[in-house]
Amino acid sequence: METPSPTNNPATIQDVADLAGVSIATVSRVVNGKSPVVAETAQRVMEAIRELNYVPRAAARILASKHTNTLGLIVPEISGEFFAPMLRGIEAAAGETGFDLLIHTTAYKKPEMRRHTLGEHNTDGLLVFIGSMELAELTRLESIGFPVVFLHQTAPEGLNIPVVTVENKKGAFLAVEHLIDMHQCRRIAYLSGPEGNEDSGWRERGYRLALEKYGIPFDPALVLPGDFSSKRAAQTVGEWLAGGLVFDAIFSGDDLAAVGAMSALREAGMRVPEDIKIIGFDDIPLARHLTPPLTTIHAPTEEVGRIATDLLVRLVRREAVEREILLPTELTIRQSCGCK
């Protein structure tokens, strides 16, 4: 290896210009490829760049150009199995379009540090996951025309913010209908998500709709509180079982909770699907490998991330975008529902 740089400090655009015998403006041009430069000089500049190992300082760029080339992602907390695919989609799409990704979770910050950590001064646009940002801040961002896209959450009324999510209601309906229609279930419990969670709300509606269609009265006692985690689900189902609640099936608001429910059922000596049938939601990668393999509603989680990011990028570029994108969900039959 040759000496990477004559001076000790990282090379600046000026160093490159000097070495190539041109002005910094020209260097900037060849770096950004915006305006035309004679091939020969461009050649010299590129060589100087390599020679000096020059990399433009991001900060200086941002300051001068007014955009950050960075997308922000705000989530309440990173909950593993569900979130990872979405993050993968986001990261992939961001990478492909040349944007960096700045991630913030709101769960671990001291309250006073939560404000303004992500916004117009360090990102070109924001991806906001379900209730992780205050309405006031959202309103402010919208008022200055800052690009924001919601993930799994429709915009509060009055705010014109696009959303990307999945067909929750339809998916839930399909699951419950399958339980009723194919497996003659009558007392189906719904294992819900966190209180106020929008996904869970829609899924409950789908659940009720299916009940209604088949003339089964809705029983509030069958709606079990949960938070989309295995732990809580195991606990809740265990308790309600001990409390004498009877049901013949569980429609779980998400797959992780379904795993917890199955675990509690097993502990209580009940068999899945013989005694209790169960269907989840999301279709996490593990679902097919569970014992028994989990019948679930497949949700294109990675796609959600990918599409939301593309949409945000278009927003950043001031292109027109859809106000709402609903990705399709579908019933993926395996064995926990009693099929096969």
- Interface contacts to DNA, rule CB under 7 A: 9-10, 12-14, 21-26, 28-29, 31-32, 34-38, 41-42, 54-57, 60-61, 63-65
For residues 232 and 226, is the Cβ–Cβ distance under 8 A?
A: yes
Q: Which does 23 bind (CB under 5 to 8 A by kind): a copy of itself, DNA, none?
A: DNA
Which residues are CB-contacts of 110 (< 8 A; sequence separation ≥ 6)? none
Size, binding site for a copy of itself by CB under 8 A:
65
Compute the distance between CA of residue 85 and CA of residue 111 in angstroms, rounded to an integer: 28
- For a copy of itself, which stretch binds (CB under 8 A), given 62-70, 127-135, 211-219, 237-245? 62-70
Q: Which does 13 bind (CB under 5 to 8 A by kind): DNA, a copy of itself, none?
A: DNA
**One character per residue 96-135, x = contact with a copy of itself (rule: CB under 8 A):** x-x-xxxxxx--xxx--x--xx-xxxx-------------
CA atoms lying within 13 Å on the CB side of residue 67: 12
Residue 63 vs 246, nearer CB to DNA: 63
Supply the minimum distance, in Å, between the C-beta of residue 87 and a copy of itself: 5
Supply the minimum distance, in Å, between the C-beta of residue 28 and a copy of itself: 16
- Between β-strands 163-166 and 223-224, what pairing exists: parallel, antiparallel or unpaired? unpaired
Residue 46 binds to a copy of itself (criterion: CB under 8 A): no
Closest CA to 159 of 172, 173, 141, 176: 141
Closest CA to 172 of 324, 339, 331: 331
Residue 53 vs 139, nearer CB to DNA: 53
- For a copy of itself, which stretch binds (CB under 8 A), given 18-26, 179-187, 242-250, 261-269? 261-269
For residues 286 and 125, is the Cβ–Cβ distance under 8 A?
A: no
**Binder of a copy of itself out of 289, 318, 319, 320 (CB under 8 A):** 289
Compute the distance between CA of residue 323 and CA of residue 149 in angstroms, rounded to an integer: 9
Burial of 158 per CB tally in 10 Å (0-12, 13-18, 19+): exposed
Amino acid, res. 91: E
Residue 79 vs 154, nearer CB to a copy of itself: 79
Q: Which does 333 bind (CB under 5 to 8 A by kind): DNA, a copy of itself, none?
A: none
Which residues are CB-contacts of 43 (< 8 A; sequence separation ≥ 6)? none
Dihedral angle sign, alpha carbons of residues 272, 277, 280, 283: positive
Supply the minimum distance, in Å, between the C-beta of residue 125 and DNA: 17
**One character per residue 220-259, x = contact with a copy of itself (rule: CB under 8 A):** ---------xxx--x---------------------x--x
**Binder of a copy of itself out of 41, 83, 205, 327 (CB under 8 A):** 83
Supply the minimum distance, in Å, between the C-beta of residue 209 and a copy of itself: 30
Long-range interactions of 63-68: CB distance < 8 A, separation 24+: 67/124, 67/316, 68/100, 68/122, 68/123, 68/124
Q: Which does 26 bind (CB under 5 to 8 A by kind): a copy of itself, DNA, none?
A: DNA
Residue 68 binds to a copy of itself (criterion: CB under 8 A): yes
Helix (H) or strand (E) holding 302: helix 301-316
Question: What size, in residues, is the chain?
Answer: 340
Supply the minimum distance, in Å, between the C-beta of residue 261 and DNA: 51
Closest CA to 109 of 76, 153, 151: 76
Dihedral angle sign, alpha carbons of residues 14, 20, 22, 24: negative
Supply the minimum distance, in Å, between the C-beta of residue 310 and DNA: 23
Residues near a copy of itself, by CB under 8 A:
4, 10, 53, 55-63, 68, 77-81, 83-85, 87-88, 91-92, 95-96, 98, 100-105, 108-110, 113, 116-117, 119-122, 140, 143-144, 229-231, 234, 256, 259-260, 262-263, 266, 284-286, 288-291, 293
